[in-house]
Amino acid sequence: MRKTLLYLVILAVLGFGIYFFLLKKTDSPYSADEAGFTIKDTGAIGKIYIVTNDGDAVLVERTDSAWMVNKKYRALPSMLNLLMGTLAQQTALYPVTKNAFDNVIKSMSTDGIKTEIYGRDGKKMRVFYVGGTAVNNTGTNMLMDGAHTPYVVQVQGFDGYLTPRFTTNIKDWRDRTVFSMPAEEIKTISVQYADKPINSFVVNNDNGTINVKADPEIMNHLDSINQRKAHIYIKYFTNVNCEGYLNGVAGMDSAISKAPKQSTIDIVGLHGQHQHADIYWMGLNKRSKNVTQSDPDVPDDYDADRLYAVINNGQDTVMVQQQAFKKIFRKAFEFYQKDMQLSPEQQKEYEHEKEQSKNVLFHKKV
């Protein structure tokens, strides 16, 4: 009986050990000095500095208002979240093999990416070097600063290599906002079409009551403005993003200078905020979907999917998607079109939203 009990105890201990070390334990079994690539508490991070051997670098810093890149631009949230998730999950699997050691060290000495992580208090948390893909293409070679042995590092469930996440390309890091203003902050919106000025308009938001100024030919032949449509419209500018930056792309200045302007968009806030964009048509190319089928809103000579835009006081040229901007490219007469009969529930919801807008504006003024 005693032997049976002893065997049961031993089995229980072994079972717990197997569970803890094989299933429960996810941290690297190697020393932190040699393989401490994981930073579980990313909330403690205050600054990240990434630099290549060529001197290309980005500095990503936490501020009171937002994460900033190179002390100038807001950081792209998705890029920041990706890197933070990587730091929290990347784990050393094993040291690089003896056969690969020399090649890995040589590669890191020329192409390694140095990554410095600092806490909110400014103290250094980690410094390590990111290399290329491991021999089996399912891990990334990394080396802790001061360590002698590189390790193959991986994020559980991800088979690719992690090097692209430690990019120093400023275009990958910059926030891609074109317009960002809450509806209750908007005072005026101006959309002026270069090719069809009769469709142009200016929206004025006066304490939640919206007026739309347009060509007299439009205004003289239409009834009162559709307040519901107008209230929905000003919400479209809360978060409008571009697809990517085109700064530095060869021939881009020439392409913009030759491209016909599609429109000019201005937003002015209650406190004088001003956001501006000049939109240009992009030439037709073999990937344009309207090569085979015309788009009623796009001339046949231009791309129906994408446009150029010049933003940030002319400092940046970006590519924007027609799909993201189509809701902004309304025509003046559309604000005067009547709705189909609203149900009592829809009418009640509309009145509630309108009252909320007035209340927000009232409290901001007080």
Helix or strand run (H / E) with residue 65 = none
Quick one: tokens of 219? 């205004």
- Name the pTM for this structure: 0.77
What are the backbone angles phi and psi of residue 233, rounded to the nearest 5°? -60, -45
Quick one: tokens of 274? 């001003």
Residues 168 and 263: their CA atoms lie apart, in Å, by 34
- Whole-number Cα distances in Å, 314 to 161, 248, 253, 275, 278: 37, 14, 12, 11, 9
Quick one: tokens of 333? 């007469």
Q: Which residue has the tokens 């344009």?
A: 288
Q: Where are the domains of the chain?
A: 28-173, 177-337
Question: What would you report as the CA-atom Rg of the chain, rounded to the nearest whole angstrom?
Answer: 28
Residues 212 and 119: their CA atoms lie apart, in Å, by 50
Nearest C-alpha neighbor of 335 from the set 213, 240, 193: 213
How does pLDDT run along the chain (366 residues), one tens digit per residue? 555 555 544 554 444 444 334 334 445 577 777 899 999 999 999 999 999 999 999 999 999 999 999 999 999 999 999 999 999 999 999 999 999 999 999 999 999 999 999 999 999 999 999 999 987 778 999 999 999 999 999 999 898 899 999 999 999 999 999 999 999 999 999 999 999 999 999 999 998 889 999 988 877 777 788 999 999 999 999 999 999 999 989 999 999 999 999 999 999 999 999 999 999 999 887 777 776 677 788 888 899 999 999 999 999 999 999 999 999 999 999 998 887 655 667 666 656 655 655 454 444 443
